[in-house]
A and B are shown apart, each in its own frame.
Chain A
């Protein structure tokens, strides 16, 4: 039991920090522009696919840098020529635009890369078990993912709180007019932040591609979860995004690992149920089955009882 828990925790950390790479960009973009970017996970998918294609010519390491740069540039273009154009039609139109973009990118990936799963492998350099615990291997690549994610988090934190650019970005989220009056190019800041957020998402994609498989549905499977995270963490809060990412990552990982069901619970209380009971689906529910449902359940409960999220400010 203890070995299962340890590995579940490690895997949960890997997933959680990966989710944070996505959630941090999303929440930064939201706090600055007020747009929840539906296409954020699509940039993550584009990152994985670009890295796969580039990697066929150059190998993994150059692709690790090139793919996020490429996707970040694409994200900046989307902001400059797409989102800014839609901005005047209001927030609902912006949300609908990013939704359409996500749909479009998924179709484009399916049309030009194919609907099949890509054979995107971790680099040979990291293709060995880092350590073996209770007879189970922990791959070095996952440790590398963990390391990169932590590095990005520290870099992001330092960059936003200690550098001049970070200060301007923070000021642009809270007092956009003042920042513009001081002579900073506010639209350019928006474009850059959007591009940087897309690049972070793409980096997450490059890292996750070999582990979570590279296929056209990868954006849809992760996209809604990232939304859940930024809402639970509190829209616009970077700390909230980190806490919620880890929470969701661990929660899902543990739920899959711990095979406890309603039947066990009822048995423990001393209640048995007939197998042909009309509500048998509910009596038979088990935690691994519920794992995919948990984030959404948490989201709905959060929005009902504490809409501003864990670390969010009160809504104006």
Chain B
């Protein structure tokens, strides 16, 4: 008996109770029985508690080296640092699905508690939908990827893994585990999957509200207002998760880049794209009562894409069409995705007559049209990325030949569409709601366009000859100038109205209308991220060389001198650290320390730890590619990555902007007084 047996029982109970909760919630709502609805609500809390207990037993087993548990034996080892033992839960299929279920329960419990006194008619269906999603993941964990299985020696001597051993089997406890995949032993890997999962599972809450709105026929703008923050926060987590994944790739994979458009990365990007479209288009519904069907479709797509991404990356279907049936996970996800797609489609068609738009467009040149275009472009990027991700198995299936779709494909296809998106992002805030007359257009666009042309001219004058680089940076200037103009005019108007000093006017402007100005800060974050991408994409320089101590290698204006190699012992690896002096323009600016880790459990797979000297202008990025003897000769790859730091600074601005946009406020928002979270969420 190990502690994980308790976890297994808890999961079985969680499955039973979540099914019970679905039934009583729906019954209670249909028959109008508040006791049943309350029982369904309590089921959410209890299921959440049970899944937490189960996860705790796995953490206990991991931290206490209970190697009889198969998941622990295959994903941990005695010498693994405690933090990585803790993070090993999401270092493998079965554990990560359990962790996913735990976070999903966390969101379900939080939403259930938050709305406990509100929306009595929507609530039971929200609970039932949340429990439905939980029940699915609990089922997958119990029947397809069970982390509670233990190792046994069967009577014929074979080692098997099972929760309940066959007759005559004796417990098998390995002396040590096989260790955690070395690629995952990095600090970004502790936090990045957590962020990503929080984004994925959090989007279930707005989806559940959409389902409840469709079932009850309460299709006004209430559900949209209720879930604004419940969408923005998971959207932020998803965005942070994606960027942190890039940071991991940047420091751990050692190819000078951060995003390879591989299926796992694309799987996280797909729902982010539709979610981004959704958080913009619900503004139109709030203000104008338009795009009701479209919003229902976007949140549907977003949620299905979170599942689809999981399906893609865990079923093995992307590696080869033939691996689909090897694990029951693929078929289970496929059935669930198709079933929920069809069920939602039926609901949507049934309710179409109630989803009529309250308004029409007033003019082609309006904020509404810009939002609509932005939405369509996001969906186009999503479809193009989905096609690129799926085309490899499709082509293999049709032609029998293996092909690959990597960076060059996605950059050629998505690059121009992203540029269009950037221009819309710049233009939208400059267009007025309803319609923009010629005078407004001239007044709002003059400055940003002038700034754009000036920037392009300056870049050319200072010697930049890369057309894509010039166009990209000029587009960033266009968007940025528009945002600055919005801030300046807002502050001016406020000072004019109140006579406040400059700084106070700025602070109050942002505080009183966090949704608009927080949104602009998010846009500034996106611009910074785009700047980093453009820098790395178009202006990276690199060089590789074999050096003996004292020899130098030059890349762009940076000269590196190899000083020597040292070996030291880490907790579960040997660390080889090379030391290089960095000189820029003849001046010494410091040292970089590229490393190789050779893990005890995976000596054949040495891991790269990049030597990095980050800077606002450029990063010096050094990879120790190999060495001979004790470092008498070492091979280095050196990259100069311009503007990369802005990617990570932009991430901070995303967080800041979303915090401002979601911060509870006393004063009514400027954009629309009706846009607040209603009732008790906001004290009057």
Co-assembled chains A and B: no
Write the residues of chain B forming the contact surface with A, with a CB cutoff of 8 angstroms.
Answer: none
